[in-house]
């Protein structure tokens, strides 16, 4: 019974530690290698199942069932060797002649095992079981163990040789893969003298635990670090893009929305008009009078100050509406909700201020405003054009007023 108990313990340890790989939920870049390792683990599970059954059948003295299980046992052992060879070579990511030779050797060993198992049905070349249900291995069986040992040792030495030039993390993983082969070969060597001990299962348990600790977990941690670094890079890029967007959508002189922001706002309004989802709105167009004269007479620095004073007046009156600077001295406000409802009062106060400026340095701003007409306007620009025309009419009025004022 103790024989099967070792196999059962090994099975539970393997399933608990490697459930994520068995379900293929690995985290890492070496996906191809882990697909092969998953096959290897299923090969180990296959082997452990036959090994566990072997202990029960041997104790129950079921000769025929024990013979069949032992046959399958050898095939399962071959599966483990061929998939381990494939995994080790795939993980090393080397495609040289010797790597291909090792993979071929693993496949050849498995093929030889299958052939001998079939032959053993007719002639006991691997083992036989007597009438008392006693297992008797043959010299060929020992030869097969020696071949496994040699193959595992050579593969481990090849892994250690591949360490040169690798990073510290890769070296640790490669040493662990090499150590797996050494552990297996040592236990198989002992089994040459003690064939009825469950040493193969113990070796699998120690080896897979070693791999899980120093290879699987190591890759998970590295993958986690890579994800965190990628997240930090994306976060930084997002902040840079956000800042760039803020700069692109904000007028650098006045701080109000830029011409690019206005173009996007116009597109949104057109979509709302087309979908008949837009709330009532009005468009106010502004132009600062005599900016060119100020620039020519006092310089562009004074012209910029004039633009900023004018922008401040617009934002003060239309404080609930988005204001856009669409040209050197041109601004647009889109009135909705509160400002739309109070547009007559707001515009009257604004025009009154322009008619009788309190401060001589105050910017004089021409304004035209037009309300969206659902039955007439097909797009936002239709409203803008009317407001723009009214703005120029107001501009002419203010200039005429200025000329009539006493100097």
Query: Which residue in 318, 319, 328 sits closest to 369, CA to CA?
Result: 318
Q: Characterize 222-240 residue by residue with b for buried, 16 or more Cβ atoms within 10 angstroms of its Cβ, and e for exposed.
A: beeeeeeeeeeeeeeeeee
Backbone angles phi, psi at 164, to 5 degrees: -55, 130
The average confidence (pLDDT) of the chain is 90
- Residue 1's pLDDT band (boundaries 50, 70, 90)? low
Query: In this predicted structure, what is the pLDDT of residue 41?
Result: 95
**pLDDT tens-digit map of 53-80:** 999 998 899 999 999 999 999 999 999 9
CB 71 within 8 A of CB 117: yes
CB 288 within 8 A of CB 363: yes
Query: In this predicted structure, what is the pLDDT of residue 25?
Result: 64
> Cβ–Cβ contacts within 10 Å for residue 95, how many?
9
- pLDDT, average across residues 154-164: 91
Question: Pairing between strand 330-336 and 281-288?
Answer: antiparallel
Query: In this predicted structure, what is the pLDDT of residue 147?
Result: 95
CB 389 within 8 A of CB 284: no
Among 1-10, 75-84, 395-404, the range scoring the smallest mean pLDDT is: 395-404
d(CA 285, CA 318): 12
d(CA 172, CA 149): 23
- pLDDT, average across residues 111-118: 96
- pLDDT, average across residues 190-205: 90
> 133 by DSSP, 3-state: which?
coil
Q: Which domains does the chain have, with CATH numbers?
A: 2-230 (1.20.1070), 259-404 (3.30.70.270)
- pLDDT, average across residues 292-303: 90
- Residue 407's pLDDT band (boundaries 50, 70, 90)? very low
pTM: 0.62
Classify residue 160 by burial, with Cβ atoms within 10 Å: 0-12, 13-18, 19+.
middle
160 Cβ contact partners less than 8 Å away, ≥ 6 residues apart: 174, 175, 178
């Amino acid at each position: 019974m103790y024989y099967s108990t070792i196999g059962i313990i090994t099975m539970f340890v393997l399933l608990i530690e490697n459930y994520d790989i068995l379900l293929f939920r690995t985290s890492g870049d070496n996906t191809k290698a882990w697909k092969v390792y998953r096959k290897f683990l299923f090969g180990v599970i296959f082997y452990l199942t036959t090994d566990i059954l072997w202990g029960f059948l041997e104790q129950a003295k079921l000769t025929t069932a024990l013979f069949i299980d032992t046959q399958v046992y050898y095939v399962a052992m071959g599966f483990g060797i061929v998939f381990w060879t494939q995994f080790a070579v795939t993980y090393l990511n080397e495609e040289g002649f010797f790597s291909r030779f090792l993979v071929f050797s693993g496949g050849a060993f498995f093929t030889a095992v299958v052939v001998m198992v079939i032959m053993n049905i007719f002639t006991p070349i691997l083992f036989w079981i007597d009438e008392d249900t006693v297992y008797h291995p043959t010299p060929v069986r020992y030869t097969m163990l020696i071949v496994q040992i040699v193959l595992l040792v050579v593969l481990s030495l090849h892994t250690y040789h591949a360490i040169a030039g690798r990073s510290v993390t890769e070296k640790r993983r490669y040493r662990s893969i090499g150590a797996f082969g050494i552990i297996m070969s040592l236990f198989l060597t002992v089994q040459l003298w003690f064939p009825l001990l469950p040493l193969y299962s113990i070796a699998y348990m120690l080896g897979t635990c070693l791999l899980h600790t120093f290879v699987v977990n190591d890759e998970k941690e590295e993958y986690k670090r890579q994800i965190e670094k990628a997240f930090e890079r994306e976060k930084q890029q997002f902040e840079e893009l956000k800042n760039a967007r803020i700069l692109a959508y904000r007028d650098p002189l006045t701080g109000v929305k830029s011409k690019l922001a206005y173009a996007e706002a116009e597109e949104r309004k057109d979509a709302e008009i087309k979908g008949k989802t837009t709330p009532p709105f009005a468009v106010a167009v502004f132009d600062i009078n005599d900016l060119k004269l100020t620039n020519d007479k006092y310089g562009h620095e004074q012209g910029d100050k004039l633009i900023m004073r004018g922008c401040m007046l617009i934002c003060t009156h239309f404080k609930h509406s988005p204001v856009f600077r669409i040209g050197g001295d041109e601004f647009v406000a889109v009135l909705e909700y509160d400002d739309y409802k109070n547009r007559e009062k707001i515009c009257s106060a604004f025009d009154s201020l322009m008619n009788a400026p309190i401060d001589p340095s105050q910017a004089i701003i021409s304004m035209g405003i037009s309300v969206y007409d659902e039955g007439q306007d097909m797009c936002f620009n239709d409203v803008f054009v009317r407001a723009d025309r009214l703005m120029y009419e107001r501009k002419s009025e203010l200039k005429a007023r200025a000329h009539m004022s006493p100097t």
